[in-house]
Structure 1
């Protein structure tokens, strides 16, 4: 794993969280549409969970997974921010923090820094090289 792949883990975790949030929203919508069916003269039937209960259990499980993922994301961002702070070039620090901690798009970084988009790419390329040097010593990539 190179430095860029290491830093990009934040995007992967963030996408996973967003996907699970969409699933929760979908399950909540589904749970609101679930209706009970009444069956006449069924006496010896073992009671299963209702569709509403199933949906609620799935929502709770998914929300617990989301909380775990959020904790992982926060820890990852904290570690990355600490590692970025070890760089000496302030422009490199700024671009890496905006990209991998604040999760900004390239165009947003260019607007925030006042640099041309191509210049942001150059700073990023140089910053990744600088970031990779001490990273190789501390993390097996």
Structure 2
């Protein structure tokens, strides 16, 4: 694979990485929600230690809100990126090659499933993929 193909592949993979970043943050939010529930359930009318953090739940909620804001920003980035990737894929005339790119880089489908869906050998899918990467031009704003 030459430099141009590698650059195109790296560009197309950006959507995958943004998606993974979103998933990671969603897991963090879920974990913080569980922590907030635990912190809330341990509160009572009983006198506690004067050194305990009475704002623990509030701090957790602030962290959750910050993460949710970041998730929204990442989701907007992902939507924009996928739109640009779709336009790049439309540069390719061959419908089978378009499907390979769409399945792999927009839907994050595994190579084996793409081969099965298109009733092709893995070798042919990889060959078409590599040939197709040569036809994609990355927009200047994303280089």
Tell me the equivalent position of 1:77. Answer: 82
Matched, 1:36 2:47: no
User: Contact 2:8–2:133 at 8 Å: present in 1 too?
Assistant: yes
Where do 1:1-141 residues align within 5 Å? Answer: 2-34=7-39, 35-36=42-43, 38-39=47-48, 50-131=55-136, 134-135=137-138, 138-139=139-140, 141=143
1:106, distance to aligned residue in structure 2 (A): 0.9
1:39, distance to aligned residue in structure 2 (A): 3.4
- What's the Cα RMSD here? 2.2
TM-score calculated relative to the size of structure 2: 0.83
Unmatched segments (≥5 aa) in structure 2: 1-5
Distance in 2 between residues matched to 1:10 and 1:107, nearest whole Å: 20
Distance in 2 between residues matched to 1:78 and 1:86, nearest whole Å: 13
Unmatched segments (≥5 aa) in structure 1: none
Tell me the equivalent position of 2:3. Answer: none
Distance in 1 between residues matched to 2:67 and 2:80, nearest whole Å: 20
TM-score calculated relative to the size of structure 1: 0.84
1:22, distance to aligned residue in structure 2 (A): 0.8
- Select between 66-75 and 110-119 the one with higher mean Cα deviation: 110-119
1:49, distance to aligned residue in structure 2 (A): 5.6
Match of 2:135, SS state, is: helix
